[in-house]
Amino acid sequence: MIAKLVEIRDSGTFIPALAVRLAPADEAERYLLARAGYGTEPETQGSYVLLIRLADGPYNPRGHGLARTMMVAHERLLDLAGNLDDSPAAFDRLESGAVVDVEFILGVAAGPKRSERLT
């Protein structure tokens, strides 16, 4: 993935945004992009660009509505990003394609799930 912050301007308009080109760096990223419907080949996947208005982005875990899964996963990722006692932060060490297992985080499952890619 290649992420860029951009300033989108128009007549009387200023929109801070995040643009992400879906260029998979490895098999885990290629697999996840394929599962999300962005094609199966890296060349095809790399032709997509996601554009997210920073003001609209779900920066708040509660911004996902009542979806427990996304809220808990988002909170966990924020926890990892906030681990400033460690250098680099735990979020920075998170591997692309990593599994964020909500049942494990909530203590419902005894162990974390493995990626579907590996099963």
Give pLDDT tens digits for 48-59.
999 888 887 667
Shared domain check, 41 and 65: no
Asked which of 16-20, 46-50, 91-95 is least confident by mean pLDDT, the reply is 91-95
- Please say which residue of 38, 57, 76 terminates a domain: 57
Shared domain check, 66 and 51: no
pLDDT tier at 102, thresholds 50, 70, 90: very high
Shared domain check, 89 and 53: no
pLDDT(89) > 90 = no
Average pLDDT estimate for 9-34: 90
Residue 96 domain flag: yes
Shared domain check, 72 and 41: no
Q: Which domain holds residue 80?
A: 58-113
Of 44, 54, 45, 43, nearest in space to 19 by CA: 54
Is residue 56 a contact partner of residue 16, using CB atoms and an 8 Å limit?
no
Gap between the Cα atoms of 24 and 51, Å rounded: 17
Residue 99 domain flag: yes
Report the domain count for the chain.
Answer: 2
Which of the pair, 62 or 46, is modelled with greater confidence? 46
Is residue 38 a contact partner of residue 22, using CB atoms and an 8 Å limit?
yes
Mean pLDDT estimate for the chain? 85
Residue 119 domain flag: no
Q: What is the model's pTM?
A: 0.73
Residue 89 domain flag: yes
pLDDT of residue 17: 87
